[in-house]
């Protein structure tokens, strides 16, 4: 691994050592810390979205993003959230009628509120253990993709969107996520469900990396490298949780409507 990439990996590792226990502790304690943490990251994401997308009314857009985010996390009433979501998108669409990046500004409303909201919805549905499993799976995708992709390299995954991502990184992410799932199941005494959770981890790994590519496409379209510099070694909040907020809605829907909770 090149020296610059090694330094970046060290920064990522140190940042993760700080953030992972913080998030795990919030999950363990539960309300209101989970919700406050979600609001914190969601608010930072709202700020980043208005900063990385050139516009003339950043405060207005950030306030709309945050308001809809709050309804997704705190109301617990689907009808209220749906109304807030639609109204928020219409308001941003109206205010951004003369903006160059009108579509991206409107996209920020559902991307932030549903992505962050789904993490809280999942926690309220399945509790501490399964939510922590989900987070570890997605974090393992990032680690596996980075380590294997930088070490093995090989054919590019999507060179026009993200030149640094490789097929080896994708496979490494899947392998690390499945491994993390197996280890987690062992420690919580659920090894009999390894096939179920391991298979689901592989699916999540692919979806999370699609989310990573979506974020890369947005940044490439805007001509920026990182969403911000809030998190050392990772760039911004969006850079760190892109896979989480992209895959969380799918995982929530699967557990709520399609899967038998074991």
Does 41 have pLDDT greater than 80?
yes
3-state secondary structure of 137: helix
Return the exposure string of 162-200: e unless at least 16 CB atoms fall within 10 Å of the residue's CB, then b.
beebbebbbbbbbbbbbebbeebbeeeebeeebeebbeb
Neighbouring CB atoms inside 10 A of 152's CB total: 13
Lowest mean pLDDT, pick from 172-176, 214-218, 230-234: 230-234
Tens of pLDDT along 13-30? 666 677 788 888 999 998
CB within 8 Å of 195: residues ≥ 6 apart: none
Give strand pairing partners of 158. Answer: 162
Does 4 have pLDDT greater than 60?
no
Does 262 have pLDDT greater than 50?
no
DSSP-H helix ranges across the chain: 3-29, 33-52, 58-74, 78-95, 102-152, 167-187, 194-222, 237-253
Q: Which of 14-28, 98-112, 136-150 has the highest mean pLDDT?
A: 98-112
Who wins on pLDDT, 11 or 94?
A: 94
Mean pLDDT score of the chain, rounded to an integer?
88
Q: Using CA atoms, how far apart are residues 189 and 153, in angstroms rounded to an integer?
A: 36
Who wins on pLDDT, 19 or 202?
A: 202
Q: What average pLDDT score do residues 170-175 get?
A: 94
Q: Using CA atoms, how far apart are residues 132 and 98, in angstroms rounded to an integer?
A: 43
Predicted pLDDT of residue 29: 92
Tens of pLDDT along 81-99? 999 999 999 999 999 999 9
Predicted pLDDT of residue 239: 81
3-state secondary structure of 55: coil
Does 138 have pLDDT greater than 50?
yes
Q: State the pTM of this model.
A: 0.90
The residue extents of the domains of the chain are: 3-258
Predicted pLDDT of residue 261: 46
């Amino acid at each position: 691994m090149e020296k610059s990439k090694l330094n970046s990996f060290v920064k990522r590792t140190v940042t993760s050592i700080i953030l992972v226990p913080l998030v795990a502790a919030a999950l363990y304690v539960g309300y209101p810390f989970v919700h406050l943490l979600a609001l914190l990251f969601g608010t930072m994401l709202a700020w980043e979205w208005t900063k990385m997308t050139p516009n003339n009314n950043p405060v207005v857009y950030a306030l709309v993003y945050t308001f809809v985010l709050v309804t997704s996390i705190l109301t617990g009433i689907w009808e209220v959230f749906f109304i807030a979501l639609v109204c928020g998108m219409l308001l941003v669409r109206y205010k951004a009628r003369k903006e160059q990046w009108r579509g991206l500004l409107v996209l920020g409303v559902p991307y932030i509120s549903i992505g962050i909201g789904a993490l809280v919805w999942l926690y309220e549905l399945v509790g501490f253990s399964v939510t922590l499993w989900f987070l570890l799976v997605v974090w393992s995708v990032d680690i596996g993709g980075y380590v294997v992709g930088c070490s093995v390299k090989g054919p590019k995954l999507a060179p026009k969107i993200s030149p640094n991502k490789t097929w080896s990184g994708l496979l490494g992410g899947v392998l690390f996520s499945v491994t993390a799932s197996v280890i987690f199941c062992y420690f919580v005494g659920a090894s009999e469900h390894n096939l179920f959770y391991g298979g689901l981890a592989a699916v999540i790994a692919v979806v999370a990396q699609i989310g990573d590519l979506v974020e890369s496409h947005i940044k490439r379209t805007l001509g920026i490298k990182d969403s911000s510099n809030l998190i050392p070694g990772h760039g911004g909040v969006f850079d760190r949780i892109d896979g989480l907020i992209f895959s969380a809605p799918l995982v929530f829907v699967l557990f709520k409507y399609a899967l038998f909770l074991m």
